[in-house]
């Protein structure tokens, strides 16, 4: 190919620029979804709600449709879905390659689905406007199916244990998808490695917990606070 004929420094330069552009695009998507979800209203026009009323979403009709679709499918677990994408965007913007992409994708899908099941395990408040649980269609299907599989009724006091199992799956899967616990064997640019080593303290150059652990810990705390409220 044409790229193979280019000098190695030029190929590394172009590869790094492509990663950075991809990171910017992914960051823009995360910002779009965050703003859309933050201003989501069930009364806004969407795919299943035809209305001539005003659009309250900050991003207009596109934001209203995207937010409503996400909330219908995953409920409040949409927050968990955005966290690994934010980690990916930051890594790409720093010029890093996403190693083990297929494995991370599988872990990401599993973690998001498990997060939706955790949300569906939480009690529905009177202000929740959707006919589904807090985890949307996906969360209700997974939590209800797992509960029925072990023979627990919805009113059983042990039904919450299923939610804790899903919580463990969600935390492990999402942290793995964000790169924590996976070795970074992907070669990176020599100048990038030197730059990272110079910027970080010596104690942090060999091994450090990922940002995903902190973010997911905050997410778990948020779920528990929501349940307590």
Per-residue model confidence as pLDDT tens digits over 91-103: 899 888 888 888 9
For residue 212, pLDDT over 60 is answered with no
Residue 155's pLDDT band (cuts 50, 70, 90): low
Reported as a single tens digit per residue, the pLDDT across 2-38 is 666 777 788 888 888 899 999 999 999 999 999 999 9
Q: Looking at residue 27, what is its pLDDT?
A: 95
Question: From its phi and psi, is residue 75 left (phi > 0), alpha (psi between -120 and 50) or beta?
Answer: left
Predicted local distance difference test score (pLDDT) of residue 151: 79
Phi, psi of 46 (to 5 degrees): -150, -170
pLDDT of residue 154: 65
Query: In the prediction, which pLDDT does 184 show?
Result: 47
Mean pLDDT of the chain: 80
Q: Are 118 and 216 in contact (CB under 8 A)?
A: no
Rounded percentage of the chain residues whose pLDDT exceeds 70: 75
Picking from 60, 63, 52, the residue whose alpha carbon sits closest to that of residue 71 is 63
Residue 208 is predicted with a pLDDT of 41
Contact of 34 with 85, CB cutoff 8 Å: no
Computed on alpha carbons and rounded to an integer, the radius of gyration of the chain in Å comes to 21
Cross-strand pairs, 49: 46
Of the spans 44-53, 66-75, 220-229, which averages the highest pLDDT? 66-75
CB 121 within 8 A of CB 162: yes
Structure confidence at residue 115 (pLDDT): 95
Q: What is the pLDDT of residue 215?
A: 52
pTM: 0.74
Within 8 A by CB and 6+ apart from 165, the residues are: 146
Report d(CA 71, CA 51) in Å as an integer. Answer: 18
* pLDDT tier for residue 48 given thresholds of 50, 70 and 90: confident
Asked if 129 and 141 touch (Cβ cutoff 8 Å), the reply is no
Residue 222's contacts (CB-CB under 8 Å, 6 or more residues apart) are 79
Burial letters for 60-69: b for 16+ Cβ neighbours within 10 Å, e otherwise? eeebbbbbbe
pLDDT in tens, 175-211: 998 877 555 444 444 444 444 444 444 333 434 444 5
């Amino acid at each position: 190919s044409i790229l193979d004929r280019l000098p190695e420094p030029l190929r590394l330069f172009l590869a790094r620029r492509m990663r950075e552009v991809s990171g910017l695009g992914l960051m823009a998507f995360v910002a779009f979804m965050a703003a859309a979800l933050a201003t989501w209203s069930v009364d806004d026009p969407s795919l299943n709600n035809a209305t001539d009323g005003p659009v309250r979403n900050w991003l207009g009709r596109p934001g209203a449709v995207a937010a409503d679709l996400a909330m219908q499918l995953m409920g409040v677990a949409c927050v968990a879905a955005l966290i690994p994408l934010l980690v990916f965007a930051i890594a790409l913007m720093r010029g890093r390659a996403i190693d083990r992409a297929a494995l991370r994708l599988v872990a990401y899908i599993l973690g998001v689905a498990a997060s939706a099941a955790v949300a569906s395990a939480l009690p529905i408040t009177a202000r929740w406007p959707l006919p589904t649980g807090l985890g949307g269609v996906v969360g209700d299907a997974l939590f209800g199916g797992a509960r029925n599989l072990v023979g627990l009724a919805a009113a059983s006091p042990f039904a919450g244990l299923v939610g804790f199992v899903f919580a463990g799956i969600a935390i492990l899967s999402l942290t793995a998808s964000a790169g924590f616990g996976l070795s970074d064997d992907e070669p990176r640019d020599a100048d990038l490695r030197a730059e990272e080593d110079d910027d970080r303290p010596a104690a942090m150059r060999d091994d450090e917990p990922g940002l995903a652990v902190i973010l997911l810990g905050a997410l778990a705390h948020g779920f528990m606070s929501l349940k307590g409220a």
